[in-house]
Amino acid sequence: MATSVGVLFVIFALFMIPHNSTAVTEQTFVTHSGAIISTTGEVLDPLYTEATFEFDPDEFLRNFEYGRVTVQPDGTTLREYTIVARDDQIQEIAPGVFYNVWTFNGTVPGPTLRATEGDVVRIHFINQGSKQHTIHFHGIHPAEMDGVFEIVGPNGGQFIYEFEAGPIGVHPYHCHVMPLEEHIIHGLYGVFIVDPINGRPPADEMVMVLNGFDTDFDGENNFYAANTIPFYYQHHPIQIQLNELIRVYAVNMVEFDPINNFHLHGNLYHYYPTGTDTVPSTYTDMITLSQTERGILEFYYSYPGQYIFHAHKVEFSEKGWVGTFLVLD
Ligand SMILES: [Cu+2]
């Protein structure tokens, strides 16, 4: 008994001491590009980032791409988007951790595309990568638009995906070239939202892609996040207004781990699985999501202050999948 208590104490001490010391000390170091940056070691601040490119989770959060719109002779709305795939970029996804991300339009996740049910969606896909890639949309469309068999070659290969947007909801899109796991974990995915013709009630809307990165290539994730950068929204709280309806489009793109989940503090949310209905199926503070499972969360806060949201699979939250809402009065 005494021995196990002693062992427990040693483990506890080993865990706590470095954690506390890194939490308060800002360190300066030189990145491999030669830039001198300072970091607490807890979070990567894009202001300090020196990498092939930068990614701003604040900008991604509420950014929706509606495409280039034209009205066709029959009155149908046509939305055209151009998506370029690359696989040569390096992103500092955690302090000092540089990872070869594969991107749609230069970011992980790719842009959030948005259309209304019944619109014609036309995607001009250009593969500027060194490997084969495609775009596979979840949803309803013809077989030849499924992005599986029509492989798009590297170094400028092109394909035009065209289909009618539907059903309503929040759907992932991702590359579907084998080995599929490799193409997804490097970052070739994004979100496609299809709105009902009459829309949903006005709300402060945001997108959260739950993702992870296997930076040491052992088939397990080393970092987890909502929108790519571990701990980002913990250090940069998402500001929302008291009593305003919040709508979160959440998509789980974590590979390797069979489940992920979304827990909200100090509140519950109405949940619409896959967003394919306009009536919520449950009122909860916890949903569990398998690969590419997704849904819409709606809630509002009745009390001001700061609340966290995170994976209740706490390993994931301790490795980055945690954020905060700051409710303003
Ligand atoms: Cu690919």
- Read off the pLDDT of residues 212-243 as tens digits, 9 standing for 90 and up: 999 888 899 999 999 999 999 999 999 999 99
Write down the pLDDT at residue 216: 87
Query: Which CATH number among 3.40.190.10, 2.20.130.10, 2.60.40.420, 3.30.460.80 corresponds to the domain 57-195?
Result: 2.60.40.420
Q: 184: CA distance to ligand 1 center in Å?
A: 7
Backbone torsion region of residue 140, taken as left when φ is above 0, otherwise alpha when ψ lies between -120 and 50, otherwise beta = beta
How many angstroms is it from 176 CA to the middle of ligand 1? 6
Superfamily of domain 204-328: Cupredoxins -  blue copper proteins (2.60.40.420)
CA 88 / ligand 1 centre spacing (Å): 12
Q: Locate tokens 């709508």: which residue? A: 247
- SS3 sequence, 142-199? CHHHCCCCCCECCCCEEEEEEEECCCCEEEEEECCCCCHHHHHHCCCEEEEEEECCCC
Ligand 1 centroid, distance to 134 Cα (angstroms)? 6
Instruction: With H, G, I as helix, E, B as strand and everything else as coil, classify residue 138.
Output: coil
C-beta neighbour count of 35 within 10 angstroms: 13
CA angle 223, 224, 228 (to 5 degrees): 100
3-class DSSP state for residue 296? Answer: strand
The predicted-structure confidence for 30-55, as pLDDT tens digits, reads as follows 555 566 555 554 444 444 445 556 78
Let me know the angle formed at the C-alpha of 112 by 202 and 162, rounded to the nearest 5 degrees.
Answer: 110
Burial group, residue 313, by CB count within 10 angstroms (0-12, 13-18, 19+)? middle
Token representation of residue 165: 């947007």
What does DSSP say about strands 294-299 and 305-310: parallel, antiparallel, or unpaired? unpaired
Phi–psi pair at 2, nearest 5 degrees: -60, -40
Whether residue 249 contacts residue 193, with contact meaning beta carbons closer than 8 Å, is answered with yes
Within its chain, how far is the Cα of 22 from the centroid? 27
Examine residue 154 and say whether the peptide bond preceding it is cis (omega within 30 degrees of 0). no
Q: Where in the chain is the domain with CATH 2.60.40.420?
A: 57-195, 204-328
Query: pLDDT category, 97, cuts 50, 70, 90?
Result: confident
The H or E element containing residue 315 is: helix 314-318
CB contact at 8 A, 125 and 132: no
**Rounded CA gap, 266 and 285, in Å?**
9
The three-state secondary structure class of 12 is helix
Specify the pLDDT at position 30: 59
Ligand 1 mean position, distance from CA 84 (Å): 11
Span from the CA of 66 to the centroid of ligand 1 (angstroms): 24
| Predicted TM-score (pTM) above 0.95 | no
Position 96 scores a pLDDT of 80
Chain segment 67-91, per-residue pLDDT in tens: 999 999 999 999 999 999 999 998 8
Ligand 1 centre to CA of 181 (Å) is: 9
What's the number of CA atoms in the CB half-sphere (13 Å) around residue 105?
18
What separation in Å is there between the alpha carbon of 106 and the centre of ligand 1? 14
CA of 175 to the centre of ligand 1 (A): 5
Q: Give, as one character, the DSSP assignment of residue 214.
A: -
- Please report where in the chains the tokens 């909200």 appear, as a residue: 264
Average pLDDT, the chain: 88
Rounded mean pLDDT, 153-181: 97
Q: What is the pLDDT of residues 54-66, one digit of tens each?
A: 789 999 999 999 9
* The CA-based dihedral angle spanning residues 196, 198, 203, 204, taken in that order and rounded to the nearest 10 degrees: 50
Residues with Cβ within 5 Å of ion ligand 1? Answer: 133, 175, 177, 183, 188
Q: Please state, in angstroms and rounded to a whole number, the distance separating the CA atoms of residues 309 and 298.
A: 14
What separation in Å is there between the alpha carbon of 126 and the centre of ligand 1? Answer: 12
Residues paired with 65 in a beta bridge:
113
Ligand 1 centre and the CA of 262: distance in Å?
28
Backbone angles phi, psi at 279, to 5 degrees: -115, 125
